[in-house]
Amino acid sequence: MAEQKHHFSSEPEHYILSPETEPMLERLFFNNRFLVLLILTALTAVFAYGLTKVKLDSSIEKYIPLNHEYIQNFLVHKDSMKSGVANVKISVESTQGEIFTKEYMETLSKINDEVFFVKGVDRSGMKSLWTPNVRWTEVTEEGFQGGPVIPSTYDGSENSLEQVRQNVLKSGQVGRLVSNDFRSSIIDVPLVEKDPDTGEKLNYQQFSHDLEEKIRAKYGDDNYRIYITGTPKKLGDLLDGAGKIAIFFLMAMGATAVLLFLYSRCIKGTIVPILASLIAVVWQLGALALMGYTVDLYSVLVPFLVFAIGISHAVQIISGIAIEAGKGENRLMAARKAFRGLYVPGMLALMSDAMGFLTLLFIDIGVIQELAVSASVGVAMIIITNLVLLPIIMSYIGISASGIRHAEKTEKSEPKLWKFLSHFATRKVAPFPIIIAIAMAIGGYFVSQDLKIGDLDKGAPELRADSRYNLDNDFMVSNYSTSSDLLVVMVETAKEQCNSYKVMDAVDRFMWYMENVPGVQSTTSLVTVSKLVTKAMNEGNLNWSALSRNQTILNTSIQRAPSSLLNSECSMAPVIVYLNDHKAETLETAVKAVEDFKTQYDDQVDQKYFGYSISEIDQAIADGEIDSVPVRFQLASGNAGIEAATNQVIADAQNTMLIFVYVVVFLLCFATFRSFTAVACIIIPLALTSVLSQALMTYLGIGVKVATLPVIALGVGIGVDYGIYIYSRLEVMIIAGKSLQESFLETLKSTGKAVSFTGVTLALGVATWIFSPIKFQADMGILLTFMFLWNMLGALILLPALAHFLLSPERIVKRHNKRHGDVPPAG
């Protein structure tokens, strides 16, 4: 092994190494600079091509936990369920009075026909006053009479309009398709899964645009107002809001450029870091597109993070190059020494970021898992573009004279702020930030105990309260009796048994049970139809509004039941539970009630059928293994059922994910610094920020949900960068023989300045999200801004205070000499 040769300059941290002691990566990259640039240029061209393949995805399936028990139960009956999430409601309101006018009916007819031909509409399932599947029924002395609500003889005359009014009253659609005040009516629009032209998944953003252009813009005026709700419309509005994210990206980039110039006072030191970070974004998006990934509402924010993270690490490189250039090194050696001193903490920080993001893969929701992959790929690209490409480019062009003068001035100056902060590493001052941190941690912990899982706002909490969609939703909730929040419980049984008395009686008992649960408005099922028809067949006598034990009567009562209330084999009959809202507390109460009823019911019935699938039950009955009709209540479908499943996945995953994030960060830091006390100094400020961020969420009324759960991993993964850079530089100063306070002051004058700039830059990059029309993006912006700034303050204030009590300079020097001999660390 070649002998290591070294000698020191007058500055203890400044030393010269012979080529034999230069790190292998440094020799590899800088001895072959031109070849490396050619390879990176070629990669940029490849990924730029991939950038042209990027697609915005609006698939609903990505936002739900497909492997959750509830969703699996739903998927079994997906083809026969009519109460899924792909449904839109269009309400047409008359501002002039009631809907029973010739003008309103003509307008409604035109809108109905227009909607009928919008691409993506399941035309066979459409419902409105003008569709033949909306009928009225009555019992007369001659028996049952009925027909379409708007008969074929309708001509717009006063008599015809009066007949329509009477038919509406007999149809049972008041509060459902017709508002309670008779001033508006609904067109219920189910959607197909795939685009009929392309065969691909239906583009909800385009569908939303079609409704806006062909319905709202065309027919909405002073006489008629149009309101549109439903998950596909909500997703379309969200995707429109996400499209505006480019404006915030440009705002963040412009502000970052200004701050970078003020920091470096060098045009080259401003443009090159921005260019390198933008290349990282191009590489990230291009690579994801080439791997087959799409951009969705969550991953569209990742380029912001990639750019901000790239800038934060670029600042360290530029600062290091400027300092070395100020010491008289030429462009190449300044870049090499900056790389030599920063590539280890830089790679450690970025690996911590990437591994922290990958912990999101534990959350079984497609959109979060893709965000994890997207963020990790972006960080991997930064390792190349900002730790390799940036210093190589700077080795050719160098820092400008003004930038070097500014770096020299900064290096020699001792700002009052840095002197003040250095006292946190002394015995007199160090206890105070620790005591304050403990008090804040305790207070934050108790406040965070009220943190809720799921949505805490009514309407669509993903959008702002004054958004067009939420205003439309408020109108629907205020004017119609049926809620838009549906929890669908699937009642499974054997073939042709869904109308048997045993099954119907179990469903009837379940409905009564659920209607007495707080937060439940009403329920409807096959039993509802049976009772209505039985009563009607007995002269409308309320005494007959009950289930008959006579199977023939039961069979007759459901002959005209809607297909949405039973499947074709009569082996599954859904019970639709209308909830007041989809707030976390409401969903928890309703789901618990269903589970409690299932437990009580299952304890009372024959258990032989448990463990069988529905197809196996049919065979078991045929073989005589089961002599009774089984009934199983299965959760769940409907938008509320899917959200309940999502909340459960998040509740189960949040602590696991947080533990894995910290375990990963701990292992990487320990592998680098080989010291438990060093790791404690880095991680304790992160843990404090995590506790305080949960308290902030509680205070602001932000629940833990799909949008906010990734923030925990992102905040920890990125926030650890500050501590790593501060500690690695602090260790270098201690090994050079300085006291802890002197070491921290020297650290603040170089790395500390870059870290403070990094914290502001990262916070600025995500703070622009606060102005997004999408509320969950604004929530993420608030939380990440808070976490980035608090992590920065933790590294500058709490870390040195902890270091005073936890670190032993003698052990640090001894550990370094044991690992490296008497060769000082790069830096």
Distance CA 574, CA 74 (A): 10
Give how far the C-alpha of residue 474 lies from the chain's centroid of Cα atoms, to the nearest Å.
24
Half-sphere exposure of 82 (CA within 13 A, CB side): 19
Nearest by Cα to 264 from 381, 382, 407, 396: 407
Nearest by Cα to 380 from 283, 303, 292: 283
Q: What is the 3-state secondary structure (H, E, C) of 562-575?
A: CHHHCCCCCCEEEE
Distance CA 279, CA 64 (A): 33
Distance CA 472, CA 482 (A): 15
pTM of the model: 0.76
Phi and psi angles of residue 474, each rounded to the nearest 5 degrees, phi first: -60, -40
List of E strands, 559-700: 572-579, 632-637
Phi and psi angles of residue 148, each rounded to the nearest 5 degrees, phi first: -60, 150
* Pair 298, 368: CB distance under 8 Å: yes
Nearest by Cα to 464 from 172, 182, 774, 740: 774
Element holding 348 (H helix, E strand): helix 331-358
Nearest by Cα to 77 from 642, 595, 643, 567: 567
Block means of pLDDT (10 residues each) for the chain, 827 residues, are 35 37 76 91 92 76 82 80 70 91 92 90 88 81 77 88 90 86 91 78 85 90 90 83 74 81 84 90 91 79 81 82 82 87 79 79 82 87 89 88 78 75 88 93 91 77 83 87 83 83 88 90 87 77 78 82 80 88 85 88 58 56 58 84 86 81 85 86 90 90 80 76 83 84 83 78 80 82 87 89 84 70 53
CA distances for 47 relative to 105, 589, 740, angstroms? 55, 49, 46
Element holding 165 (H helix, E strand): helix 158-171
Distance CA 161, CA 167 (A): 10
Distance CA 303, CA 277 (A): 10
Angle, helices 709-735 vs 775-793, to 10°: value is 20
DSSP-derived secondary structure letter, 453: B
pLDDT for 819: 65
| Dihedral sign, Cα of residue 468, residue 472, residue 473, residue 474 | positive
Element holding 27 (H helix, E strand): helix 24-30
Q: Alpha helices, DSSP H only, in 674-752?
A: 676-700, 709-735, 740-747
Phi and psi angles of residue 121, each rounded to the nearest 5 degrees, phi first: -80, 135
List of E strands, 105-167: 135-140, 143-148
Q: Alpha helices, DSSP H only, in 265-330?
A: 267-290, 302-326
pLDDT for 10: 33
Q: Which distant-in-sequence residues (6+ apart) come within 8 Å of 245 by Cβ?
A: 300, 301, 304, 772, 777
